[in-house]
Chains A and B, each alone.
Chain A
Amino acid sequence: MLEVRDLTIAYGRHVALEGVSLSVARGEMVAILGANGAGKSSLLSAIAGRVAPRTGAIGYDGQSLLGLPQHGLVDRGIALVPEGRGIFPGLTVAENLALGANPMRARAGAAATREEVLTLFPRLAERRRQIAGTMSGGEQQMVAIGRALMSKPDLLLLDEPSLGLAPIVVQEVFAALVRIRDTGLTIMIVEQNARATLALADRAYLLEAGRIIGTGRADALRNDPAVVRAFLGGLSGNAPAQA
């Protein structure tokens, strides 16, 4: 479904990503794991059309995504939840969701989609009239994910959904991601929280200093000693979340 080939991204002389190739098949949940500055967000930004890669190709259902404007991606079925609460803080929860259904592909079925989203996030149904900016961090993240789902995506891109959230809230968000994954939606998630993410994803790519240093099935990676040392190491005693 999504094919990334030899992607290189550079900001001036600083190379953020070098020769990265990966693929996501329909119905899969794929994680991109890496430390701060490994290039995770650059990778997602390129797929979402926010930065133009220096070289490489990004294909989606056999067509190139390069050069498409950001607002055009949504109509192709790609929804992004950007890092750090992608919501409209001045609007109510209901308005945020309504705006999510703004793309042409989502308008007709908006009411039905909203019911699905509110079933996934019952909390949002209770808080429908609240101004989104006044909600807690975890609730705002649910609004952000709900807003993205309202566009009826085929591919959901999540950029660090657990960033800056308290551990107990992270658990809540990941529990919601399990429910979304179980609907069969294709998901690509970028995360620092490797342990929780590997418990959730089908496959993962390990990113370090702008290159992919490993890939495999999530359950295999969880027990790979090298991965445990590099990505899960030292923290085994206080796992932030079990999904």
Chain B
Amino acid sequence: MIRIALPLAGLVLLALAPLALSDYGLGLLIGMAGYVTLASSWALFSGHTRYISLATVAFYGTGAYTVAVLNEALPYPLVLLAAGGIGAALALLVGLSTLRLAGVYFVIFTFGLAELVRQLITWYEVTITGTLGRYIFLDITPAQIYWQLLALAALTLALTAWMHRRPLGLALRVIGDDEVVAAHAGINLARVKLVAFTLSATIITLAGAIASPRWVYVEPAIVFNPTVSFLTVIMALLGGANRLWGPLLGAVPLFLLFEYLSVHFPDTYPIFLGALFIAVVFVLPEGVLAGLEKLRLRRRPTTREAKA
């Protein structure tokens, strides 16, 4: 009971927060809700399967760009729907062609994908429409953006929790352990990976679409900034990508830290980002939550074999 009641109470409190906060405070909340959504939905696919995707910003930017293109042509709910649909279609296309790749090839492909989408849109805007930048004029207040992102974050966590108990969640876990054995346990690897990848990418696209009115002015170099992909990965890894609350635990403190650094050290801040990335991978490769568990286990005289 408490496992459901506590998060729900937290959600209600967070939903009421804009009433008591300054504009700057609300801006921080929007950033946090956005990155919690990104890190959690990234982990939905990559956390258990260990397919490290750097395509986050390809979908995030696609969501933002969809709003930029359609915001004057369609009513807002339909724009969101279109963004989700485009994200899902792109994810299916990418998934079908890449999920056979393993390890580092998948990482490199996803990184290239973000760049490819950015170049394609730039080319399209320059040669076909003749404008590179677009404006987003929507009657949406920051509080409304925040509530939408909060809802999306909650939905992502609920979906992750629900999947953990379903055959799909178990299948994702064992794919990360050993693909051959998983296949010979009768699991259709291609289908499981495709479903999870598409779900994850659709949520990321929606997050980009919802957050886009904050930019007002949108161009490919802004919305396809690869730093978003890297931040998402490191946040999820810091908290523990294969735990329900792990990505959230990584996203909130890291977002606040980066916010502080980018305000106080605007020029040197990418150096901290790089150093932190290395530190997370070296010190806590399985995340804070797993690290804490290991510390607790060390008190007891159990020997744990290294995972193959």
A residues at B contact (CB < 8 Å): 48, 50, 69-71, 73-75, 79-80, 82, 85-91, 95, 99-100, 102-104, 133-134, 144, 147-148, 151
Contact = CB atoms under 8 A, between A and B. Distances in A.
A240 B187 CA distance: 36
A75 B173 contact: no
A88 B181 contact: yes
Interface of B: 167, 170, 173-174, 176-178, 180-189, 302-305, 307-308
Nearest to B181: A86
A82 B178 CA distance: 10
A147 B188 CA distance: 17
Contacts of B307: 89-90, 133
Nearest to B183: A70
A97 to B, nearest CB: 10
A36 B182 CA distance: 26
A151 B185 contact: yes
A105 B210 CA distance: 45
A103 B185 contact: yes
A58 B185 CA distance: 21
Contact of A90 (B177, B184, B185): B177
B305 A99 contact: no
B167 A102 contact: yes
Nearest to A133: B307
Nearest to A84: B308
B308 A100 contact: no
Contacts of B178: 86-89
A50 B184 CA distance: 10
Contacts of B302: 134
Given A86-B181, A88-B177, A133 B188 contact: no
A91 B183 contact: no
A86 B180 CA distance: 8
Contacts, number: 76
Contacts of A50: 180
B173 A82 contact: no
B187 A102 contact: yes
Contact of A103 (B170, B186, B189): B186
3 closest residue pairs by CB, A with B: A103-B186, A70-B183, A74-B186
Contact of B180 (A82, A95, A133, A147): A82
A82 B184 contact: yes
B66 to A, nearest CB: 35
B167 A87 contact: no
Given A88-B181, A91-B174, 6 more contacts: A75-B186, A80-B180, A80-B184, A82-B180, A133-B307, A134-B304
Given A91-B173, A91-B174, A73 B184 contact: yes
B174 A88 contact: yes
Contacts of B185: 71, 74, 99-100, 102-103, 147, 151
Contacts of B188: 69, 71
A16 B220 CA distance: 50
Nearest to B306: A133
A113 B174 CA distance: 21
10 contacts: A70-B180, A70-B189, A74-B186, A79-B184, A85-B308, A88-B173, A102-B167, A134-B302, A134-B305, A148-B184
A91 B307 CA distance: 12
B184 A74 contact: yes
Nearest to B175: A88
Contacts of B303: 134
Contacts of A103: 185-186
Contacts of A75: 186
A50 B183 CA distance: 10
